[in-house]
Chain A
Amino acid sequence: MSQSFRTEAGGRIDRDRKVTFSFDGDQLEGYEGDTLASALLANGIHMVGRSFKYHRPRGILTSGSEEPNALVGVYRQGDQTPNLRATQVELYEGLKAISQNRFPSLGFDVGAVNDFLSPLFPAGFYYKTFMWPRSFWDRVYEPIIRAAAGLGKPPKNADHDRYANLYAHCDVLVVGSGPAGLAAALAAAETGARVILCDEQAELGGSLLSETAATIDGKTPVDWVEDAIRTLQAMDNVTLLPRTTAFGYFAQNFVALAERITDHVSEPDPNLPRERLWQLRAKEVVIAAGSIERPMVFPENDRPGIMNAEAGRTYLNRYGVKVGHKALVATACDTAWQAAFDLADAGVEIAAIADLRENPPEALQSIAQARGIRVETACVVTGTTGRKRIDKALLGRVSASGSVASAGDLACDSLLMSGGWTPTVSLYSQSRGKVMWDEAAGAFLPGQHVQNERSAGSSRGLYGLNDVLADGYAAGEEAAKAATGKSAKVTYAVASGAEAGSGGTLGALPDDRDASRVKAFVDYQNDVTAKDVKLAVREGMHSIEHIKRYTTTGMATDQGRLSNMNALAIASKALDKPLTDVGLTTFRQPFTPTTFGTFATSSRGDFFDPVRKTPSHQWATDSDAAFEDVGQWKRAWYFPKAGEDIHAAVARECEVVRNKLGLFDASTLGKIEVVGPDAAEFLERMYTNPWKKLGVGRCRYGLMLNEAGFIIDDGVVGRIAEDRFHVTTTTGGAPSVFATMEDYLQTEWPDLDVWITSTTEQYAVAAVQGPLAREAIAPFVQGIDLSPDAFPHMSVATGTFCGVPCRLFRISFTGEVGFEINVPRRHGEMVWKTLEHEVAKLGGCTYGTETMHVLRAEKGYIIVGQETDGTVTPDDAGMTWAIGKKKHDFVGKRGLQRPDLVADNRKQLVGLLTTDPKVVLEEGAQITESANPAVGTPADGHVTSSYHSPAMGRSIALALVKNGRALEGKTLHVPMPDGSIPVTVTGPVFFDPKGDRLNG
């Protein structure tokens, strides 16, 4: 029968809108406004999952985000989300939910054998066994444990949904929209402060949505909520965010919110993101997160049908669902009595109210009497029966001495329990505040403020609707004043009814059962029992952190919100130490589990990291170039013609450049404009080389070290004017070189009159290299005499190119005649296309980074980051010529004189030639003296670069080799898995060692 546990009327559900959904394949009905949990309960379904370790049948325990049992997988349109709380999943037409951690079915689960074997599986059992035989851990034990553990099935396919991100500011953030939160928002909003009110639930109102036993300003709580929301909605300075969890409280009042946007909609608007991350800087925060009810720890307290009392009341009043036909109410505090009364009034038979206390308030007892409800005092539940649902509860009478005698049993199909209330201090704790034990409240409450926040209402241990409202108003008013300095005359609403109750219990209840045979659950989700906590203590785990980690209590998806206090009390008793001496574990973000996609937002694919493109990018793409990632840049790697692989393409490009000419996009190189009267002095200090005597119009290769003395960057620097230099850096080093220069300039040498500007993005740079380079560029150059005498190697001049302003460098990274044409970036593509046409006309080609690497290696030019690795000095690299001998100081000079940097046997840059010219060494391969080095032999060096060189007609390699320069002509070995490769040490310059071609 459909929805047979639905009440005739009442609740916040829309009875006109039926919704069909499925659970484990069964088609069921509910109403709009239901959660999956309330709809299942309306259909009489309590058992919704199996527990983590023992695979025990489990039912819905709560009505909120702390739910430990009712975790389901939800499937829609090919996407699958595991571990969603049925208490938070809003019902929509066609919702498809599946129970978890069971095989083959929820009703019959083979894993349930674990429950029978449970004596073998106490807390931490796995630390004590599975050690023999040693190899079985990887192959046998661990795979079994892994398959048994875990909850839901992981998503298999790439997520189809989108996620969004929003940065926001506000004066007052109010977290939680129960009575305290709504009052705080109303009070703060009245001052004109910018207010954001968020609540994790679908509907604002919190506990007021299920409160029927009170009035506020003469209205029912629900009417008052609706009025309050209308008021807030009408205000421009207020943002209301239902379905939004404040999950993280970071330094300086930075609060992260996760807003769920489409999960509750049957057919989501494809233009909407699934969830949105709010990164919010709030001047003040009001934490009105409420409190949650504690389960009672008694034997077999985990059967389906057993739930928190307030949850039972919420299902009734808010969702119009009766949790059963006959309910036993077990409690240690007053609030559960109201649940019993509400259920009785709705026609649910109350088997009894069993109160742990000897003398519950008279007033409650007389109301119970009036309704004909049996009341048992000093009474505890000592056990339950029922296979997939509770069918009977055993009762016990607690004597003054604490011993328990059986008091018979009671048939029931549901059991509502309340161990009292635990204020939700998670966010406060995340704000780095330290909670303080409050004896009167029997709870940990927020202590000193570390950030600009205040807790209000039951999250700081206040109960009673009127007190909570008043506290909320005051908190909102104070927060607004603190944030904006403004205040307003705030109208306070007054409530009657829903008085503060008393009572509560912590820890395991006494019982008359055989302690070794029963399980009283503390942490439902992780299957941690009171016994487990005691065992941990027995084994010497005396800190709550040890107990938590050893038993896993409090490590479930509710982060111990339900279990912490009970676990702590059990530990405290076992240790015979006050609760406060045992300690409390720290609450971490996120408050409730938060979707990865919500963090990653739009940062996927090309948005994962910005793509930097050169002016020739489109042309290169159209020409089927292969690209490589260098930092954020996409650089053309090589330009294969039909049928060419990388080797063939590179070989062809190399030959064309050496024989004719080639065109290369060098725009990615870093460029820095160094200007000012002290520009030369500044470079003098930053680089190893001397700069003062460099003539205007001349260039020089510059080498940069860190203060430790190691090479960190290099590049060509041109002197544009007496007081102006054009500095180039490596592609990857550009930002750090610029930052380093700024650092020295601003903080060490502020007296220098120099400005530096990054111009990397300012210029497009086309390099034309090869014997015909001059011929190719000449037609387009104006204002510069290109003749070798007027414009020799290492020159720079300003003119125009294709009619646009240009800085023309005559430099070479290939060993051929070379020009680098710097034009304003916006003209880059035009210049590239013009040159490409001209180069092709002369029989040349475009070439990519791979060919550039080969050509420079043939000349023995280093690449910083390939020949160097942060441990190489100029001398190691054979570049002492780049050090200004007369300079008293430069960055790194002192570092170079340290003992190890001047020691013998340093690794030096050399060339290597394989005996077999066809063999190309692998880059990174090690070098040893012996052809058959024993394992553990220290390497003498490694291959830094290795290529087939078309110009040399053989393979070549550069390497760093211990004492390498002294070994020229000697044979060393490169040990490979299939045998050593003999190599001869040479100088690092293979091609045109005299450099004749440069000057052509």
Chain B
Amino acid sequence: MIKYIVRRLLGAIPVLFGLSIILFAFIHLLPGDPAATILGQHARPELVDAMRHRLGLDLPLWQQYLNYVGDLLHGDLGRSFVNNRSVVDDFFVRFPGTVELTLAALAFAVGLGIPMGRWAARKPQSFSDGFITVVSLVGVSIPIFVLGLSLQYVFAVQLHILPASGRIDPRLQVPYTTNFLLIDTLLAGRPDAFVDSLRHLVLPAIALGSIPLAIITRITRASVLDVTHEDYVRTARAKGLTEKRVDGRHIMRNAWLPVVTVIGLQVGGLLAGAVITETVFAWNGVGKWVVEAIEAHDYFVIQSSILIFALIFLLVNLVVDIGYAFLNPRIRYS
């Protein structure tokens, strides 16, 4: 197992290396000039040139790339052009926000998707199955920003039952220790602030989780239906097991396998979706930060944060694969 993990981690190196080249190329293809952006549109050309020189942007592209990779190998992910702060530091200030949002969306998608899929599989072709199919088709078809704006309009603007944006009411002063607001509010002993940050989490989590919810529902339904007709399920019934045990143990343990794989793959989609969701809901996380960095041509922030995202995605997939091995004895990595 250890050997397998090491091999997978080593395999991540060429992936990240390739990604760094592609990222670098794309970023430099973006129209616009960071130096000009920083100094404003009326800056004198010689000042802009001086700024370009200071940022190292006057070097040939290959040299810029080599400098960047050299710094990366030394563990230096660069500094923001805009505020000269270390990218790593800023990333980890904002990352908890994204984790909170992504986990909430995942909890929403898994917590609702699996029961719905099982319910739909109970009576295929019935009304409830059709209803769930339609709901999940709708869920997968609506773009996040449309759903996000609609949720804001209905629940915040019209009904006033949930906050429209942000992570917490700014009037509630809570000391940030971990930057996970759900944890910080509890550490500070502020149940009111905890509830408030939870309320802020609801709409963005639903907006971000709707597509994975639809996919997890469909795959759970299909997987349960598949397994239900397996010979070993008949064997389990022939043993006289209760329906609850046949369903909960013999069917679900097998039906979980494809579902787990899909959940792992959805994490990639969630990270991508977080960029949009955070922007729509003014959610202070990595996604919103990256969008701002793109607008400011803040090269190092874009490159490094996306590289970290990629690394996280690779790690999550590794964790999913290891979890898969625990669920499925036919695959034991050695």
A and B: bona fide binding partners: no
